[in-house]
Amino acid sequence: MMATSRPGISVIASFPIRLGQHLLLAAICSAYVTSAAAQQASSAAPKDSSSLDILIDRASKGDSDAQLSLGRIYEGGRGVPQDYKEAVRWYRLAADQGRVDAQLSLGYLYKSGSGVTQDFKEAARWYRLAADRKDARAQWLLGYAYEKGSGVIQDYTEAAHWYRLAADQGRADAQFSLGALYVLGRGVAQDYKEAFRWFRLAADQRNAGGQWML
C-alpha cells in the first residue's frame, strides 16, 4: 500500500539504487512511445494502388489528413517501400498546418535520425510545438529532453513543468518521471510523500516504473 507518511529508512535507502536505473526506465518508456508510433504508422497501409494515388492527390492539394496518412504509410512501409525521407516530407507538410501527430512524428524522426540528419535540437523544437497544443505525449518527451539536456539546455525546473502538465492529463510515464524528480529533489523540493503519490498514480495505470518504485 502507498505510504501515508514519510517513508521508512529502508525504503528511503533503496531509492538511490532504484533511481540509478531511472534513466534506463525512461529510455525504455521513450522507446515504447516510438515503437507505438511505428505501429500506428504500419497500420495506415492503403488498400490498393488506386487508393494511394487518391491519397497522394488529396495530400498534394493540401489535405492535412492525407498528408499525415502518407507520412505514416511511408514510415511504416505498408503498401509501399519504406521511405523515411518521404515520410518526413509528408509529415512536415501536415505539421506546418498544425497537425500535432505530424509534429510529434517529426520529433521522433529527428531524434532517431530517420530520413533526416539526427538533430536533437530540432526534435525538441517539434516536441515543443506539439506540447504547446497540450499533447501529453509531447509534453512528456519535452520534459525528458529538459531533464537530459537533449536538444535544449538541461533544466530540471522546466522538466518538472512539462512532466506535470502531461501527468495531470493522466500520462503514466510522466507521472513516474515526475515522481523521480521529487525523490531526487531536482526542479522541485525533495518530497518523498509527493513522489509516492505520483508513483502510485503511474502504478495504477500498470506503469512498470511506478509499480517497481512502490
Tell me the pLDDT tens digit for each residue of 59-116: 999 999 999 999 999 999 988 999 999 999 999 999 999 999 999 999 999 999 999 9
Amino acid at 40: Q
Task: Flag whether pLDDT at 118 surpasses 90.
Answer: yes
**CATH class belonging to 44-77+80-133:** mainly alpha
Phi-psi region of 187 (alpha: psi -120 to 50; beta: other; left: phi over 0): left
CATH architecture entry for 1-39+134-214? Alpha Horseshoe (1.25)
Sign of CA dihedral 96, 65, 123, 153: positive
120 and 107 Cβ atoms separated by less than 8 Å: no
Task: Flag whether pLDDT at 30 surpasses 80.
Answer: no
All three cell numbers of 23: 534513466
**DSSP annotation of 99:** -
The Cα–Cα gap between 129 and 55 comes to 26
If you average pLDDT over residues 132-160, what whole number do you get?
A: 97
The Cα–Cα gap between 95 and 74 comes to 16
User: pLDDT at position 50, please?
Assistant: 74
Task: Flag whether pLDDT at 23 surpasses 50.
Answer: no
If you average pLDDT over residues 115-125, what whole number do you get?
A: 97
Give span(s): CATH 1.25.40.10, the chain: 1-39+134-214, 44-77+80-133
The Cα–Cα gap between 98 and 171 comes to 22
Amino acid at 144: Y
- Please state the pTM of the whole predicted model: 0.79
User: Mind listing the pLDDT tens digit for each residue in 168-208?
Assistant: 999 999 999 999 999 999 999 999 999 999 999 999 999 88
Q: How confident is the model at residue 33 (pLDDT cuts 50, 70, 90)?
A: low
In the block, residue with C-alpha cell 495504477: 204
User: pLDDT at position 131, please?
Assistant: 97
The Cα–Cα gap between 38 and 47 comes to 19
User: pLDDT at position 41, please?
Assistant: 52
User: Mind listing the pLDDT tens digit for each residue in 4-17?
Assistant: 334 443 444 455 54
The Cα–Cα gap between 195 and 213 comes to 10
